[in-house]
Chain A
Amino acid sequence: MNAHRATAAELGRGLRAREYSSVEITRHFLERVGRANPSLNAFLTVTAERALEDARRADLRIARSEGGPLTGVPLAHKDIFCAAGVLTTCGSRMLSNFVAPYDATVVERLAAAGMVLLGKTNMDEFAMGSSNETSYYGPVKNPWDTSKVPGGSSGGSAAAVAARLAPVATGTDTGGSIRQPGALTGLTGFKPTYGRVSRYGMIAFASSLDQAGVLAQSAEDAALVLGAMAGHDPRDSTSVNAPVPDYAAGLEMPVRGLKIGIIREFFGEGLESRTGGAVRAAIEAFRALGASVVEVSLPHLPLSVPTYYVVAPAECSSNLSRYDGVRFGHRCAEPRDLMDLYKRTRGEGFGAEVKRRIMTGTYVLSAGYYDAFYLKAQKVRSLINADFKRAFGEVDVLMGPTTPTPAFAIGAKIDDPILMYLNDIYTIGANLAGLPAVSVPCGMVDGLPVGLQIIGPHFAEERLLATAHAWQRETDWHRRLPPGYA
């Protein structure tokens, strides 16, 4: 069976044409997971029984000609999304025993669309990391080269889709955690506008930045899955109450006349030359499709990493204060008193990077330092946002690299936090300004994928998906499979 060579959209069409059943393709993907997961470590939990139940139900719907384009199509969820009755660890020892008592809205909506849950994917602990090495459950390997990282924090979802253990997977993006692993594994990684997708049941890291999205094989798949998961949710007060366009219907929007801005600040020092070359060539290729390309400058963008490493840890230190060993999660053995319970539970339950970020956040919010760090960072965030606004007054979309280099070696950066943080130098800006952005494969360097990043103004999802789709009609980078997984 070749179901793994089909996109989610193609599988949906094949299912509705009765070329195969959902049970058949679900078994096929479960078998692939069983074979490849011991080496890739992409899945933390495989929900085989539930998957086959979901698939049987989907087949019944399809037999009655019910359901939609995703009914019966398998997927994997990043282990940051609560799925009722399923272990939900967030990559942490702290939640190593946490069985979610309810579904995240994303999980609920994709289940309602008829998608089949294969399992939960590995991730950096509490989504804090850019390499998937901070997971309590061990690093994920990049299917293109297992000595390399798949990126993070949605590294398990990226590796799972890249190796075609799942046709599509969910992710979350706080500073690049969908786009960066998408770039490093040759996928279409889509991060919607802040508030486009409900955060209910999605374990919080930095609430003013967190947004759910998709790791997919194509813009078409991203459009279908995003359309099914987006929309207003009264259970998330930051969820935007605006209608969700039919993203799949908008894919054919022409590129002719599109105004593209190349971000000057993204092509300076630190960008590996062949990665930069592949991205520049891709942007140039849009001219042939009838787009115009101009260089634009966003002078405050180089400050996005330091801004992020004040704002995100501050929000993280507050969000993660809920892990106290009382109501759920890890609890230390034989606490002497309440303080001992808190300190040992948190000391044991959190890994090194999470503790580092909690302490950074605690410091920048503490009396005497709040103005110098937190308030200053929120002001610089305003300046970065204003830079984007100015740029979108001149162009429709912005383009540049997603990452400074292709996938790096496991172990290369884990001992140097700053070096690791600089991986997200091109992705963080979109999070600070709440903008939608996508990474699409645009070349290979030494056998490793390179990503082109496209950033749009708020709620320009349709435009971004159509631009990515136009690119994928002209190229086949997104169709390439890692050797050994064909």
Chain B
Amino acid sequence: MTLSRRDVENIAHLARLEITEAELPVYVGSLSAILEFVEQLSSAATEGVVPMAHPLEGQVQPLREDAVTESDRREAYQANAAAVEAGLYLVPKVIE
């Protein structure tokens, strides 16, 4: 399977990744090679096979009491943010 430059640009956009002009041909090559490599999966007969979503059978998603378990640690968590004001995260203007 061969991807085009446009395909890779589109994937990079979906993944919100800026890819430079110099990087683009490298990803065109390696992503095409990976997709070609994984195509050998088509050799396996999988009719009627249930896809495996979890390594342990019979594990059910546990539920807990609907009670507050977290304390307010906003300041500690926001200490890692690049831009904060009045307890709010700052991002570039979204609405004109």
Give the CA-CA distance A417 to B59 in the complex, in Å: 34
Give the CA-CA distance A475 to B44 in the complex, in Å: 41
Q: In this complex, which of B42, B52, B54, B92 has the most chain A Cβ atoms within 10 angstroms of its Cβ?
A: B52
Contact between chains at A346 and B92 (CB < 8 Å): no
Contact between chains at A194 and B11 (CB < 8 Å): no
Q: What chain B residues lie within 8 Å of A146 (beta carbons)?
A: none
Contact between chains at A360 and B49 (CB < 8 Å): no
Contact between chains at A309 and B37 (CB < 8 Å): yes
Give B88 Cβ to nearest chain A Cβ, in Å: 11
Specify which of A240, A346, A358 is in contact with B56 (CB 8 Å cutoff): A240
Give the CA-CA distance A336 to B33 in the complex, in Å: 35
Contact between chains at A418 and B14 (CB < 8 Å): no
Give B68 Cβ to nearest chain A Cβ, in Å: 14
Known: A338-B94, A362-B14. A327 touches B51 (CB 8 A): no
Chain B binder among A104-112, A256-264, A377-385 = A377-385
Give the CA-CA distance A348 to B51 in the complex, in Å: 36
The yes or no answer to B53 lying at the interface (CB within 8 A) is yes
The yes or no answer to B86 lying at the interface (CB within 8 A) is no
Q: What chain A residues lie within 8 Å of B50 (beta carbons)?
A: 379, 382
Contact between chains at A385 and B27 (CB < 8 Å): no
Encode contact with B along A324-349: 1 for CB under 8 Å, 0 otherwise: 11111101000111111111101110
Contact between chains at B62 and A241 (CB < 8 Å): yes
Q: In this complex, which of B15, B79, B91 has the most chain A Cβ atoms within 10 angstroms of its Cβ?
A: B15
Contact between chains at B16 and A342 (CB < 8 Å): yes
Contact between chains at B11 and A98 (CB < 8 Å): no
Category for how many chain B residues contact A = 35 or more
Encode contact with B along A95-119: 1 for CB under 8 Å, 0 otherwise: 0011101000000000000000000
Within 8 A of A (CB), among B49-76: 49-56, 59, 61-62, 64, 73, 76
Give the CA-CA distance A454 to B34 in the complex, in Å: 29
Contact between chains at A306 and B89 (CB < 8 Å): no
The yes or no answer to A403 lying at the interface (CB within 8 A) is no
Known: A359-B17, A381-B51. A376 touches B81 (CB 8 A): no
Known: A101-B80, A346-B17. A195 touches B51 (CB 8 A): no
Q: What chain B residues lie within 8 Å of A343 (beta carbons)?
A: 13, 16-18
Within 8 A of B (CB), among A291-329: 300, 303, 305-307, 309-310, 317, 321, 324-329
The yes or no answer to A480 lying at the interface (CB within 8 A) is no
Encode contact with B along A394-427: 1 for CB under 8 Å, 0 otherwise: 0000000000000000000000011001000000
Encode contact with B along A362-385: 1 for CB under 8 Å, 0 otherwise: 111010000001011111111101
Contact between chains at A208 and B53 (CB < 8 Å): yes
Give B13 Cβ to nearest chain A Cβ, in Å: 8
Smallest CB-CB separation from B90: which chain A residue? A326
Contact between chains at B30 and A417 (CB < 8 Å): yes
Encode contact with A along B22-52: 1 for CB under 8 Å, 0 otherwise: 0100110011011101111111101001111
Q: What chain B residues lie within 8 Å of A195 (beta carbons)?
A: 55-56, 59
Smallest CB-CB separation from A305: which chain B residue? B37
Q: What chain A residues lie within 8 Å of B49 (beta carbons)?
A: 379, 382-383
Give the CA-CA distance A237 to B33 in the complex, in Å: 36
Known: A195-B56, A240-B59. A327 touches B80 (CB 8 A): yes
Contact between chains at A434 and B38 (CB < 8 Å): no
Give the CA-CA distance A194 to B16 in the complex, in Å: 31
Known: A359-B31, A375-B51. A326 touches B16 (CB 8 A): no
Q: What chain B residues lie within 8 Å of A27 (beta carbons)?
A: none
Contact between chains at A417 and B34 (CB < 8 Å): yes
Encode contact with B along A183-201: 1 for CB under 8 Å, 0 otherwise: 0000000000111000000
Give the CA-CA distance A238 to B56 in the complex, in Å: 9
Give the CA-CA distance A377 to B52 in the complex, in Å: 9
Contact between chains at A380 and B41 (CB < 8 Å): yes
Q: What chain A residues lie within 8 Å of B26 (beta carbons)?
A: 352
Known: A303-B41, A338-B94, A346-B16. A378 touches B11 (CB 8 A): no
Give B85 Cβ to nearest chain A Cβ, in Å: 13
Contact between chains at B52 and A385 (CB < 8 Å): yes
Give the CA-CA distance A383 to B46 in the complex, in Å: 8
Give the CA-CA distance A336 to B92 in the complex, in Å: 7
Chain A contacts to B: CB under 8 angstroms: 97-99, 101, 193-195, 208-209, 234, 237-238, 240-241, 300, 303, 305-307, 309-310, 317, 321, 324-329, 331, 335-344, 346-348, 350, 352, 355-356, 358-360, 362-364, 366, 373, 375-383, 385, 417-418, 421, 432-434, 458
A-B contact pairs, 18 of them (CB 8 A): A101-B79, A193-B56, A194-B55, A208-B55, A234-B62, A237-B62, A303-B44, A306-B40, A325-B82, A327-B89, A328-B81, A337-B93, A338-B91, A339-B16, A355-B19, A358-B15, A379-B51, A381-B52
